[in-house]
């Protein structure tokens, strides 16, 4: 067996500029974990109209990261063989079971914890992606950035899908692939995505490649500091929404990029 490849992870979430710095103000949540050769990042965006959605988002990313890391091979094989319903139910039922437990039920109903979900996981050259709702997944391969999974807003632009919905299984998009070259993955909430796509032609902003480049060559602490600075000083100026980003960078994809508008 070859040497296990460890991805570099970085993630940060900030509250929208009109919310202040109160505890729990940010309804976005991000998390990442690497264990036994499997790396996973997850991002959840709490429903703005639900009073406990920030708690729901934070619990959801914890549940999903642990679940996917522990069951990566099984889920990857099922999706690769064309069965997306079984793993979708497995993931979503695990979330709703915990959010429906007594300690959460005492504070509110299941829908009060509503949030979107997007996650990515790798083991060696295998990539697994899950996407529910209006987040976005981007990738950087050979220095080229592109959208890997577009937002799903439902019938209207201001609608989306949440993990607590009865029909969530029908809308959770799962995909798997074998990577031929090193690829870094970035997840972004809809608030952060405003700064990552050019409105005129929907091209991916240079910041995506640059941030992934930072993650390949710097510690998580350093990259998280860069993410925090940019989310607060640049991204939040373009939206009143919470902004969050999670990166899973392949250290073999270290690129030589020209300087772009990234604050250090």
pLDDT at 264 over 60: no
CB 44 within 8 A of CB 61: yes
Contacts of residue 223, Cβ cutoff 8 Å, sequence gap at least 6 = 8, 10, 211, 214, 215, 247
The pLDDT of residue 249 is: 95
- Token duo for residue 192: 């952060």
- Residue linked to tokens 């940010």: 26
- Token duo for residue 10: 């970085």
Distance (Å, whole) CA 234 – CA 8? 24
What is the dihedral sign for C-alpha 256, 143, 12, 197? positive
Task: Give CA separation, 84 vs 53, 78, 130, in Å.
Answer: 26, 7, 10
pLDDT at 2 over 60: no
User: Residue 254 — pLDDT band, cuts 50, 70, 90?
Assistant: low
Give the global pTM: 0.92
Distance (Å, whole) CA 15 – CA 238? 13
Taking only the tens place, the pLDDT of each residue in 158-211 is 678 999 999 999 999 999 999 999 999 999 999 999 999 877 788 999 999 999
Helix residue ranges, H only, 112-205: 168-171, 190-193
Q: Collapsing DSSP states into helix, strand and coil, what is residue 243?
A: strand
Taking only the tens place, the pLDDT of each residue in 6-63 is 799 999 999 998 776 667 789 999 999 999 999 999 999 999 889 999 999 999 999 9
Share of the chain above pLDDT 70, in %: 91
Taking only the tens place, the pLDDT of each residue in 220-234 is 999 999 999 999 999
Distance (Å, whole) CA 239 – CA 18? 10
The pLDDT of residue 128 is: 98
């Amino acid at each position: 067996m070859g040497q296990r490849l460890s991805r570099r992870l970085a993630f940060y979430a900030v509250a929208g500029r009109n919310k202040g710095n109160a505890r729990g103000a940010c309804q976005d949540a991000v998390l990442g974990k690497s264990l036994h050769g499997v790396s996973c990042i997850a991002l959840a965006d709490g429903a703005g109209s639900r009073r406990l959605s920030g708690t729901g988002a934070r619990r959801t990313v914890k549940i999903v990261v642990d679940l996917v890391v522990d069951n990566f091979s099984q889920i990857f094989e099922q999706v690769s063989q064309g069965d997306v319903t079984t793993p979708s139910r497995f993931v979503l039922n695990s979330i709703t079971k915990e959010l429906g437990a007594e300690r959460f039920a005492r504070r509110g109903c299941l829908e009060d914890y509503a949030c979107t979900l997007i996650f990515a996981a790798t083991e060696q050259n295998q990539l697994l992606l899950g996407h529910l709702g209006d987040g976005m997944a981007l990738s950087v391969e050979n220095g080229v950035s592109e959208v890997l999974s577009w937002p799903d807003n439902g019938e209207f632009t201001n609608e989306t899908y949440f993990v607590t919905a009865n029909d969530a299984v029908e809308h959770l998009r799962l995909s798997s692939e074998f990577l031929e070259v090193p690829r870094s993955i970035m997840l972004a909430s809809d608030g952060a995505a405003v700064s990552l796509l050019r409105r005129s032609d929907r091209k991916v902003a240079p910041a995506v490649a640059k941030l992934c480049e930072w993650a390949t060559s710097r510690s998580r602490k350093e990259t998280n500091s860069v993410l925090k600075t940019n989310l607060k000083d640049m991204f939040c100026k373009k939206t009143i929404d919470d902004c969050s980003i999670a990166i899973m960078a392949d250290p073999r994809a270290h690129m030589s990029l020209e300087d772009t508008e990234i604050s250090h």
